[in-house]
Structure 1
Amino acid sequence: MGEKINFTVNGKPVSVEIEGWEKLLDILRDYLSLTGAKRGCDDATCGACVVVVNGEAVKSCIYSAKKLEGAEVITIEGLTDGKKLHPIQQALIDAGAVQCGFCSPAIILELYALFNKNIDATEEEILKALKNHLCRCTGYETILEGAKLAQKYLKEGKVF
């Protein structure tokens, strides 16, 4: 017999019956058809699965679904209304920090969680937040440039 958990995903209430072994990534991709978080490693080494839970960036491939009761989850699909880009998304595009797109959603959400806590994060704090993300396409200089540009866009209240 499964266990029912109730939580919020992208501002919408969700109720899911789980067996208990599932990770948050399984719930998002297999139960809710939200595929922005990627399954890259299943052991928290690549960072492609990062989403935001209760304001914190978490690796959903190791985050137990049992801990979701009452939680607020934000995925890349819920960052905007689908008509406009979030300033962090636009900044990474403008900096040339997006190529294949596999790791981009997780990096965007990592920065989202960081900047919501501290819009004035230092370069060292940005690099610390990004250190657990593997990106084989762009290199990390453009991602750092995009993060700094995102800070600027957010501070200016830019809308895209």
Structure 2
Amino acid sequence: MLINRSDLGDGDGTVPKISAIPIERSENLDNFFIAEQHGGLQNQAQVLENLLNNLRFSRFDLGSVRGSEPQTAISLSLDDLYLADEAITLRAKLIGLPDSATKLKANIQAVSHEQAALTLDFVEQEKEWMVAIADLQPGLYRVTVQTENSSDRAPTPVRDLFEVVNKSNF
């Protein structure tokens, strides 16, 4: 029960100070209050100074990062817009894995209209993976690229959007 704690009654004009602390953080010693409207907190000098000090004094174990295995990833390259009469070429690179360690697959799903999804295999060409897609009708598409295997070392799938338009739309 709060007795004689008038300082906890007023807050920032939105909620009382006591209501601004999540119950699970109420035992922590790092709670502080700033007399500022919610919309201005990101520019308040005390908030910025506190953030800077937390960053300065936080500890990060670089040894554990340097000694760990490299992260695996898929780097996907495609244009945002294609004409309906041009081939759509998706390019990808495997990062942190030998290129021959796995194969890449693309799943192309229409977003703007009904159309069956396409699943296509990338072909490796000079340390790059490529797949060409022809005859997609105009519309918006979501592509998901992932490795054929799903082991612990496999990179997470990557996603992107692209659009196919008719020349007459320009």
TM-score computed with the length of structure 1 as normaliser: 0.22
**More helix, by proportion:** 1
Q: Looking at CA atoms only, which structure, 1 or 2, has the larger radius of gyration?
A: 2
TM-score computed with the length of structure 2 as normaliser: 0.21
**Bigger relative CO (Cα 8 Å, ≥ 6 apart):** 1
